[in-house]
Amino acid sequence: MLVFARQAGVDERRAQLIWDSVALNSTPSIGLYKEAEVALCTAGICLDVVGLQYEIVPAAEIAGIVKEFPRLDMKRRITRCFCHIATARPETTYDNFVRDFGERYVDGYRAQSSVDLVSTAPFEE
């Protein structure tokens, strides 16, 4: 993403904001505390996907947004997408929310855990 933005003529700072917005949108514990652009992107995506802070947006505004941008069976489709990632690339899911979908919906899914990473670290003690 960073290289793509730079090749498109975006300056280094803005390219980094784009990268952070994409990379951190599923990690609100970090993204919401970054630069305003990253925090806004994270908040919007989290509202759209999981309803984060849904209760603070007036119902009429939510209705208007959904009318203009229908959800198009998003819950089912995003679940299918995340399950595909958990099936095809389980090694990429140990530190993100896709792991939850793998554990719940994908038979035989197993991702490395943080416990495994710590216990197999290559240090003598």
d(CA 25, CA 38): 8
Residue holding tokens 């947004």? 65
Tens of pLDDT along the chain (125 residues) come to 678 888 999 999 999 999 999 999 888 999 999 999 999 999 999 999 999 999 999 999 999 999 999 999 999 999 999 999 999 999 999 888 899 999 999 999 998 888 988 999 999 98
pLDDT at 25: 87
d(CA 25, CA 46): 7
pLDDT at 1: 67
Across 49-72, b (16+ Cβ under 10 Å) vs e yields eeebeeeeeeeeeeeeeeeeeeee
